[in-house]
Amino acid sequence: MGSQALQDWRGVRRERLDKLVAAHRAVAGAGPGRRWVTEEINHALLIRLASEFQGFCRDLHDESVGRFVSLGVRNHPDITSIVRLSLMGSRRIDRGNASWGNVKHDFMSSLGIDLARSLKNQAVQYPHWVRYLEWLNATRNALAHADEEKQALCAEQHPLTLATYRKCRAAVNAICTHMDRSLDVHLSDIRDSTRDRSTR
């Protein structure tokens, strides 16, 4: 079934993105002003995709930290709260974008998982997915800050179109799925090793 974060990614977060795609479809055509409207929706789609991925990463991190803490601290709510805060207090994704560098840092520093190595081991497409994610975040920044020079640089790599959005979304979907799987395996391994030590 996967984490609640992944279920939300495939549920409420997907629905929000799909509503924007539906709006794009509703205004698409060759009539006056429609091209400008679809361009603006394309921009909104790219920004929203980046923000939904960031939300997914925060949710997955919250959930994973909760699982991790429960392995070592039970029946002590005050201690649990302190440990959780210490593991989440310096998250880069709370202060900046969900760039792959920030995401990797946050999960490694608090949970000891090397997401890059894990995803590389799972899928040969990993570098392709990360390139799209990094482009998405750069484009999100350029659009959110109305930086036309950076927008132009991003558009040189990939046009800011619905087709590019779909490619980015496929890449981000894959990253979310593999992140979820990696965290589940990692935390299950920690749980099993903890049980092994407690029975010696």
What tokens were used for 48? 């929203």
pLDDT at residue 190, as a whole number: 83
29 pLDDT more than 80: no
pLDDT at residue 36, as a whole number: 64
- 32 Cα distance to chain centroid: 36
User: What letter does residue 161 receive in the DSSP assignment?
Assistant: S
Average pLDDT over residues 31-56: 86
Rg (CA), the chain: 19
- Read off the pLDDT band of 192 (50, 70, 90): confident
- Read off the pLDDT band of 89 (50, 70, 90): confident
Considering only 30-34, 82-86, 177-181, which range has the smallest mean pLDDT? 30-34
Round the average pLDDT of the chain to a whole number and report it. Answer: 88
Average pLDDT over residues 158-176: 97
Question: Closest Cα partner for 61 from 190, 195, 182?
Answer: 182
Q: Which residues contact 190 (CB under 8 A, 6 or more apart)?
A: 68, 71
pLDDT at residue 162, as a whole number: 93
Give one DSSP letter per residue of 40-58, joined into a string.
Answer: HHHHHHHHHHHHHHHHHHH
Residue bearing the bigger pLDDT, 187 or 82: 187
Considering only 36-45, 100-109, 171-180, which range has the smallest mean pLDDT? 36-45
pLDDT at residue 191, as a whole number: 82
